[in-house]
A and B are shown apart, each in its own frame.
Chain A
Amino acid sequence: MVPEATQEQHPVTPAGTAPFLIGDRMTGGYGAADILHDCTVAVEKGEIAVIVGPNGAGKSTAMKAVFGMLNLRSGAVRLDGEDITTLSPQDRVAKGMAFVPQTSNIFTSMTVEENLEMGAFLRRDDIRGTMEQIYDLFPILRDKRRQAAGELSGGQRQQVAVGRALMTQPKVLMLDEPTAGVSPIVMDELFDRIIEVARTGISILMVEQNARQALEIADKGYVLVQGANAYTNTGRALLADPEVRRTFLGG
């Protein structure tokens, strides 16, 4: 049985089961020209949603739009039913969202531990427990905690970046190509960790270049083409869809 991927203009969420975080029919861009056209991405509580698509499809832009880093001309972003469209990125952090940018996502001149401390800057309570959890999740960081983050390998830097974002104890973790530039082994390792994070109840929305591997771990997948939703389905269904395979996954 081959599950059928739906090709749709406006993915509509069934009434009553509004996703935990949704960027709903977003249209906008950085300047005069729109990059996103009626684009919808969403993630359920404790699930992993992955945005894939060809280069220039607006994947990262969709991510930034959800995080409030660009102005939307129309559409809305809702977190747990609350409209947060007009909130600044900083205010969204305070609301429980965390974002790991694709590049420059660590403080290179500061130690691993200081990076984590800065992640928890808004928190006034005891952060040692959270820090221990992160060291348990990424044991290598515990050994390197006094080392400058800029001296670490690519994979370790990504762990620092994810760790920094987790320090706020977010409800949603947004990752922009977390495996960019790391080896396949490190990539598998990172994906395992991301699944572990999702199991703790944190929703994960991520953009991935390695579409096939990412869809394998995804509860939900969004294929974007030219800033619009091309296919939306479960990760498994998208992987099985011959059309998606042929056009985006290289057969």
Chain B
Amino acid sequence: MDLVNALVALLNFVVIPATAYGAQLALGALGVTLIYGILRFSNFAHGDTMAFGAMATILVTWVLQGAGISFGPLPTALLALPVGIVAAAALLLATDKVVYRFYRRQRVTPVILVIVSMGVMFIYNGLVRFIIGPDDQSFGDGARFIINARQFRDMTGLSEPLAFKTSQGITIVTAVIVVAILFWFLNHTRTGKSMRAFSDNEDLALLSGINPDRVVKITWIIVAALATVAGVLYGLDKSFHPFTYFQLLLPVFAAAIVGGLGSPLGAIVGGFVIAYSEVTVTYAFKKVANYVLPENLEIDSLAQLLSTDYKFAVSFAILVIVLLFRPTGLFRGKAV
């Protein structure tokens, strides 16, 4: 029995990666849930919006790196982030102007907007590939680890290593800051409250004199910021590969729906539920189990419920279960 080493292994392979991944999903799901709450459709282009924002940030990062500008131990991409957000906001506002607004004026049903957003998704998809190419891009720099495996071993003398990547630390800290700002904005500013009112009861919001065009515009800008931050953090943590952002759409939607579409708090909780489920179900618990179990009971199997190739099945399964038993999600969002 070696509880300490078991705990360290669990922390290293499950808790830290899942928390960082959960924060990325939560930021993505917040964007999806805001659009659902205010514009009343599921935006399938959200994954590719994240890719576009990340791409814009990467291009600016390269320029900064070329000019020899760095951010010390932190990745240069953080300096480029505001420019990426502006680029993504410009893209979303332009898309709204030429595409979504037309359908809004026709007062089409939400399902038509969903299909429209799929069209937009393919265009963004092509746009990103056209500009930066379909391959992996690396753009992370600065210190790689906050704590690396050897430091940790020297510090504690434990046999089990623990590594805490800078990208993971930045992801968690940034997500906390972004979420805090978002909630403060929604709950304490006049504009934020008008967005909540619009989401709650559109007709009454109009009767109260809330300008729908302004609400929609501000929503797109916030969504651009959330998507870009999520996309950049994911890219720093894993790598930037346009296709993975398209694949992220499933866990991001699962997170938003599990939490309850339209509920920002639900999106955050949903993000962590999906991330923790995905990581724990696909992690081989052999090592942790053998630290905890008495010697004569040690196991030889991997103790892995699902191969990592099936990680998307986890989001899908959770999605189906939630839709079957609690269609409005954990935090009572709108019914899907």
Residues of A within 8 A of B (CB): 89-90, 93-94, 99, 101, 104-110, 114, 117-119, 121-122, 164, 168
Contacts and interface: CB of A to CB of B under 8 A. Distances in A.
Interface stretch (B74-82, B195-203, B231-239): B195-203
Contacts of A108: 200-201
Given A114-B193, A118-B193, A106 B204 contact: yes
Given A101-B203, A106-B204, A94 B209 contact: yes
Contact of A101 (B193, B197, B200, B204): B204
Contact of B194 (A89, A106, A118): A118
Given A107-B196, A109-B200, A110-B197, A118 B210 contact: yes
Residue with the highest number of chain B CB atoms closer than 10 Å, among A94, A109, A119? A109
Interface string B170-203: 0000000000000000000010011011001101
A26 B100 CA distance: 36
A107 B204 contact: yes
B69 to A, nearest CB: 43
Residue with the highest number of chain B CB atoms closer than 10 Å, among A89, A104, A106, A121? A121
B203 A90 contact: no
Nearest to B199: A109
Nearest to A124: B190
A249 B31 CA distance: 54
10 contacts: A101-B204, A101-B207, A105-B204, A107-B201, A107-B205, A114-B193, A117-B193, A118-B193, A118-B210, A122-B208
Contacts, number: 56
Given A106-B201, A108-B201, A110-B200, A93 B193 contact: no
B293 interface: no
A90 B210 CA distance: 9
A96 to B, nearest CB: 12
Contacts of B203: 101, 104
A110 B188 CA distance: 12
Interface of B: 190, 193-194, 196-197, 200-201, 203-210
A107 B201 CA distance: 6
Contacts of B208: 93, 118-119, 121-122, 164
A120 to B, nearest CB: 8
B200 A121 contact: no
Contacts of A105: 204
B250 to A, nearest CB: 28
Given A90-B209, A104-B201, 17 more contacts: A89-B207, A94-B209, A105-B204, A106-B201, A107-B204, A107-B205, A108-B201, A109-B196, A110-B193, A110-B196, A110-B197, A114-B193, A118-B210, A121-B190, A121-B194, A121-B197, A121-B208
Given A109-B196, A110-B200, A118 B205 contact: yes
Contacts of A94: 209
B127 to A, nearest CB: 36
Contacts of A117: 190, 193
A93 B162 CA distance: 62
Residue with the highest number of chain A CB atoms closer than 10 Å, among B201, B206, B208? B208
Contacts of A89: 206-207
A168 B209 CA distance: 10
Contacts of A114: 193, 196-197
Contacts of A122: 208-209
A90 B201 CA distance: 15
Contacts of B209: 90, 93-94, 121-122, 168
Residue with the highest number of chain B CB atoms closer than 10 Å, among A90, A110, A118, A121? A118
B193 A99 contact: no
Nearest to A99: B207
Nearest to B194: A121
A94 to B, nearest CB: 7
B194 A104 contact: no
A219 B98 CA distance: 53
A107 B208 CA distance: 11
B38 to A, nearest CB: 13
A99 B205 CA distance: 12
B206 A90 contact: yes
